[in-house]
A and B are shown apart, each in its own frame.
Chain A
Amino acid sequence: MKLIFEKSQGGRRGGELPRYDVPPAKVPDELKRERPPRLPELAEPEIVRHFTELSTRNFGIDTGFYPLGSCTMKYNPRVNERLAMLPGFRDLHPYQDEDAIQGALELMWRLQEALIEVSGLDACSLQPAAGSQGELTGLMLMRAYFADRGEGDQRDTIITADTAHGTNPASVTMAGYKLAKVETDARGNVDVAHLREMVNERTAGLMLTNPSTLGLFDEHIEEIARIFHEVGALLYYDGANLNAVCGISRPGDMGFDIVHINLHKTFSQPHGGGGPGGGPIVVRDRLEPFLPIPAVVKDKERFRLDFDRPKSIGRVRGFTGPFGVFVRSYAFIRSYGPRLREMSEVAVLNANYLLARLREAYDLPYDRLAMHEFVLSARSLKRDNGISALDVAKRLMDYGFHPPTIYFPLVVPEALMIEPTETEAKETLDEFADAMLAIAQEAEDDPQLLREAPHARPVKRLDEVLAAKRAIVKYGFEDHPDLSDTKAEPRQLEAQKGA
């Protein structure tokens, strides 16, 4: 398929702009643009065709089953898209006066209250732009909390699990903390004995997700919380796996003090090819003073932004956060109400059903009931037939499914992390299981077919090594001189100069 630049024809454009009878403004010579940017030059029909063609080469939840573990790829209700585009939300400027944004502020406040209820904590900030930013914000809160108590220099280390998502250690470094890793035991729980050795008065806190990235609920979570609280440290909950436990077990009740929630996971913000998302944080009362500014507060019957927060860590993002994401997540939550519990029940049911269907054909590193996701290993396929998790993933594409997450968590070799979510019908789960079983058989009968997969996608297997070596990260206009001669003329005030 051609790149949009390869479809450019000099002088074409998508549409005309309005013309006004005002004097032209002059840019000082030393600041003026010398050469126009080589933007695409296409008429509107060609633009629409180009992006439509691109979309046909892509697979989303709307296309089919997308069991990417840890990402909670659930169906995105379309009404939420319509609601986010209401002019009262879509065309609202963030600096409008407070009386002019009461609907927006109320929506945010109500969303905060719902997240507080689901997490079992006390105060919420919607500002962080994604889970990773929520993590970093949570760590900044810890830092501010301990500094406020005079323990800032004393507490320099955060403990993460060896099964942790890569964002956890990356966030720890960005927050200026040292990193320590606790091991996972044979049942997939945090190794409590190892943990006890590590936790001391230099510990600022723990970062953990529960259920873990193995899809297992930590059976010792109460003991873990005690260990940290006893030394005056805090517990941070990575909310990536919240879809498993809404209304069933709340992170605040598990003993966590700070929680981030991934709105694009549990609360159905469409993933958009990589984003946007939302990473609000919910905290225990004693951490509330440190939350980012501004806070959204309710004052009798009105809502306002509170900037008078002397202990706040400051601002982590522009304005009050990704509002369009809040609209969708709030709508999602309002469409479930207390039935969010059923959402989690079905998510867990679907995962366990798939696990039951697949456990004989693949290796199961931890023989327990799963939560909303589970991890299998292709280790035996590798040993017996030289087929890796990567090969299984590529072959699944030929069966019409997006592959699960592979090679994560790191503690499981040839890992396949499967998360069906609650919005999948049993028939879909069965089709997927049938495909996985067929592939396990193909690994024995015709391994070369798997090694050369996919066969049925718009491209064959792509060479990532070549990409890293060449590092071609933009279109090479220089290699195509006929497309480099871009023109852009100063505006003519009279008759149109047409394309």
Chain B
Amino acid sequence: MAASESYPDDLKYHAEHDWARIDGGEAMLGITWFAQDALGELVHYEPPNEGDTIAKDSAYGEVESVKAVSDVIAPLSGEVLEVNAKVVDEPETVNDDPYGEGWLVRIRLSDAAEVDSLLNVDAYKQVVAEA
């Protein structure tokens, strides 16, 4: 059952429809409601490996529905600490709960200053409105 549209206040956003939840020197990353709605029900998640380095604004993985495939863009740079195995096994988790159970990776930030370049919820809602 897909979630209803929402953009939590406590997250930071990237214009490519990704979110980040910052927690000290680490961050949880995922895709927003808008992204999962555009793709449709996800059938596959191709994650990075634990230990990989990911770079801000570059793709770190892929998500697929039956009709589309999309790169997942990293809002921040860092080292992959954990990949969400639940999403690998049940990709539709992202549709049901994009900000909670549907997180994609947890990373250790390599450059905390990058957080400043992310959008807050209002700025991101603006991006969605114009999309």
Q: Closest CB-CB distance, B67 to chain A, in whole Å?
A: 7
The A interface is mostly helix, strand or loop, or mixed, namely: helix
Q: When chains A and B are docked, how far (Å) is the Cα of A483 from the Cα of B13?
A: 55
* Complex: A464 Cα to B42 Cα, angstroms: 11
Chain B residues with Cβ under 8 A from A465's Cβ?
Answer: 40-41, 43, 65-66
Give chain A's interface residue range (CB within 8 Å of chain B). Answer: under 10
Residues of B within 8 A of A468 (CB): 43-44, 64, 66
Q: Which of A415-473 contact B (CB under 8 A)?
A: 464-465, 467-469
- A407 to B67 Cα, complex, angstroms: 10
Nearest-neighbor residue (CB-CB) of A463 within chain B = B66
| Bound Cα distance A464, B40 (Å) | 12
Nearest CB of chain A from residue B2's CB, rounded to whole Å: 12
Please give, as numbers and ranges, the residues of chain A lying within 8 Å of B44 by CB-CB distance.
468
Nearest-neighbor residue (CB-CB) of A468 within chain B: B43
Q: Which of B41-68 contact A (CB under 8 A)?
A: 41, 43-44, 64-67
Q: A83 to nearest B CB, angstroms? A: 41
**Which residue of the partner chain B has the closest CB to A470?**
B43
Q: For the complex, what is the distance from the CA of A467 to the CA of B64, rounded to whole Å? A: 13
Q: What separation, in Å, do the CA atoms of A467 and B41 have in the docked complex?
A: 12
Distance in Å from the Cβ of A403 to the closest Cβ of chain B? 15
**Quick one: closest B residue to A469, CB to CB?**
B43
User: Within the assembled complex, what's the spacing in Å between the Cα atoms of A464 and B68?
Assistant: 12
Q: How far is the CA of A407 from the CA of B64 in the complex (A)?
A: 17
Give the distance in Å from the alpha carbon of A467 to the alpha carbon of B65 in the complex.
11
- How far apart are the CA atoms of A72 and B67 in the complex, in Å? 23
Q: Which residues of A contact B40 (CB under 8 A)?
A: 465
Interface positions of A from 376 to 426, Cβ below 8 Å from B:
407
What is the CA–CA distance of A468 and B42 in the complex, to the nearest angstrom? 10
Q: Which residues of A contact B41 (CB under 8 A)?
A: 465
Q: How far is the CB of A21 from chain B (nearest CB, A)?
A: 57
With a cutoff of 8 Å between Cβ atoms, the chain B residues found around residue A464 in the complex are 66-67
Q: Chain B residues near A469: list those with CB within 8 A.
A: 43
Query: In whole Å, how far is B71's beta carbon from the nearest beta carbon of chain A?
Result: 15
A398 to B129, CA, bound (A): 37
Chain A nearest CB from B6 CB (Å) reads 21
New A-B contacts (6) at CB < 8 Å, excluding given A407-B67, A469-B43: A464-B66, A464-B67, A465-B41, A465-B66, A468-B43, A468-B64
Closest 3 CB pairs of A and B: A468-B43, A464-B66, A465-B41
6 A–B contacts from the bound complex (CB under 8 Å): A407-B67, A464-B66, A464-B67, A465-B66, A468-B43, A468-B66
